Structure 1
Amino acid sequence: MKYGIGLPISQPAQLLDWARRADAADFSTLGLLDRLVYDNPEPLVALGVLAGATTGIKLQTEVLIAPLREPSLLAKQAATLDLMSGGRFVLGLGVGGREDDHLASGTDLRTRGRRMDEQLGLLRRLWAGEPHSPGCGPIGPAPSQPAGPELLFGGFQPAALDRVGRWGGGFLAAAAPDWAGGLFDTVRRSWKDHGRTGEPRIVAQLNVALGPDHSVAEARSAMSAYYEFSGRADYMVAGMRTTPEEIHTASAQFEELGADEVIFYCYGGDPAQVDRLADLLD
């Protein structure tokens, strides 16, 4: 199984340090979440900067809120990042459930799923080099990968899980091991129902913080602030793994469920967490 690093959002200027450490430690992936009405870096811009500071590690949105974005421009941005990173970009997508994000973007929260499905069809056509529409030609550049960047889909509802089978790619599970297994099974059924060959790629997220008490406290505070809107911040923070034993146990559970990769999501700003996690995996 592979392991990646989910980047914190509290101190964007430090992300270059995080990325270089993760790349040097042979982590598989850098993940970065997306919000609009929040004090986080815009993920496509940030990952573009990090692509130039790294050489081998993948760059993954976890997840980009597609309905907030105009699809033609998104197709161009994703293709550019995929091409200029040498095919290292992975486009994780979701519909977003925060009303303020949709208010700020002028999009309708109620139709976000339908909008994303329409976007996916256009993205795939544009990445294949097809014209945008009658009277409007193709939008380049062509991505590094002929079908476009690898796609991952996040979510919990049946329609969200079924996108993995409908569109291909894989599933990004922001769920604890004790209930992720059911999501994995649903995604695999969707894959087979849509006649896909092979298996979908399954990526799990695990919220972690390793280090001295002040580093762990900082991570908990940042995570609590991020999830305050949900009314479940205490529950989310309680699920953070903060010891080597907890992290090993949860990772092993994900592996037993058939996950291909675990992304260790870090909310604190201390970049030495990367080194501690690398030492844990040696």
Structure 2
Amino acid sequence: MKIGLGLPVDDPAQLLTWARRADAGPFSTVGLLDRLVYDNPEPLVALATLAGATSRIRVQTEVLIAPHHNTALLAKQTATLDRLSGGRFTLGIGIGGREDDCLAAGIDLSRRGRRLDEQMELLRRAWSGAPYGEGVGPIGPAPATPGGPEVLFGGFAPAAIERVGRFGDGFLGAALPPQTMDGLYRQVEAAWERHERPGRPRLVAQASVALGPEATVGSARRNLLDYYAFTGRAAYMANGLLTTPEAVRAVVEGYRGIGADEVVLYCWASDAAQVDRLADALF
């Protein structure tokens, strides 16, 4: 099973340090979250920079809120990132749920799921090299990955599970313990079979971690509370933060036991020494 790192967004200047350390170590992926009305770097721009500064590790959105984006431009941006990274890009994708983000993007909050379904049809068409639409030719460049970058859907609703079977390569489940994630994974596999997809979906989990001194853990808790304040469950999310090597190892083993192909450990504090601490704890 692979282990990736979700990168903290509280100090964008540190992202290159994080990515280079992860690339030199045993980790499989570096990921970035997406928000519009928030103090985070734009993930596609940031991941393009990180891809250019690394040679091995994959770069991933966790998750890109696609309905906020112009679809034709998103097709071009994601194909470009996949091409320039040599096929090292994974598009984690979802619908989001923040009203202020939707207002800023000028989209209808209640239609974001339907909009994503429409976008996926167009993205797959663009990545295949087919004309984008009536009177519109193909949108290049061709991605390095045939058919387009790997797509993982995030979310908890039945519609998100169904999208994996219809459009995706796998599922990215976040903020749930292994015993709860197990049920979602089995639903994803059932959706895959309903749509008669060959092989099996890739199953990815995400857990929040902070390894280090009290200042690092405290910073991570504050960032978690701020990021999830809109949900009304911020305290629950902060209480789920894994702060010891033993807790991190136990959760990783729990996800391994339910069939996860990869666990992305999301780091909420900018202390880059956590890369080495997590490597020591797990490898």
Scaled by the length of structure 1, the TM-score of the pair is 0.99
Percent identity, aligned pairs only? 62
Structure 1: 4+ residue segments shifted above 4 A:
none
Aligned to 1:142: 142
Aligned to 2:50: 50
Once the two structures are TM-superposed, the CA of residue 132 in structure 1 deviates from its matched residue by 1.4
Once the two structures are TM-superposed, the CA of residue 36 in structure 1 deviates from its matched residue by 0.2
Provide the rounded CA distance (Å) in 1 between the counterparts of 2:280 and 2:55: 21
Aligned to 2:70: 70
Confirm or deny: 8 A CA contact 1:26 1:57 kept in the other structure. no
1:16 aligned to 2:16? yes
Q: Secondary structure at the match of 1:139?
A: coil
Confirm or deny: 8 A CA contact 1:37 1:104 kept in the other structure. yes
The one-character-per-residue Cα deviations of 1:84-113 (angstroms, maximum 9, x if unpaired) are: 000000001000111100000000010101
The one-letter code sitting in structure 2 at the alignment partner of 1:80 is T
Confirm or deny: 8 A CA contact 1:3 1:29 kept in the other structure. yes
Q: CA RMSD in A?
A: 0.7
Aligned to 1:255: 256
Once the two structures are TM-superposed, the CA of residue 177 in structure 1 deviates from its matched residue by 1.5
1:203 aligned to 2:204? yes
Aligned to 1:276: 277
The one-character-per-residue Cα deviations of 1:65-86 (angstroms, maximum 9, x if unpaired) are: 0000011000000000000000
**Unaligned runs of at least 5 residues, structure 2:** none
Aligned to 1:194: 195
Aligned to 1:227: 228
Aligned to 2:185: 184
Once the two structures are TM-superposed, the CA of residue 151 in structure 1 deviates from its matched residue by 0.3
Once the two structures are TM-superposed, the CA of residue 134 in structure 1 deviates from its matched residue by 2.0
The one-character-per-residue Cα deviations of 1:234-268 (angstroms, maximum 9, x if unpaired) are: 10000011011111111111000000000000000
Provide the rounded CA distance (Å) in 2 between the counterparts of 1:13 and 1:168: 32
The one-letter code sitting in structure 1 at the alignment partner of 2:76 is K
Q: Secondary structure at the match of 2:26?
A: coil
Once the two structures are TM-superposed, the CA of residue 3 in structure 1 deviates from its matched residue by 0.1
Confirm or deny: 8 A CA contact 2:153 2:168 kept in the other structure. no
Aligned to 1:151: 151
Q: Secondary structure at the match of 1:204?
A: strand
Confirm or deny: 8 A CA contact 2:12 2:40 kept in the other structure. yes
Confirm or deny: 8 A CA contact 2:60 2:89 kept in the other structure. yes
Provide the rounded CA distance (Å) in 2 between the counterparts of 1:242 and 1:178: 20
Provide the rounded CA distance (Å) in 1 between the counterparts of 2:211 and 2:155: 27
Provide the rounded CA distance (Å) in 2 between the counterparts of 1:168 and 1:8: 26
Confirm or deny: 8 A CA contact 1:161 1:187 kept in the other structure. yes
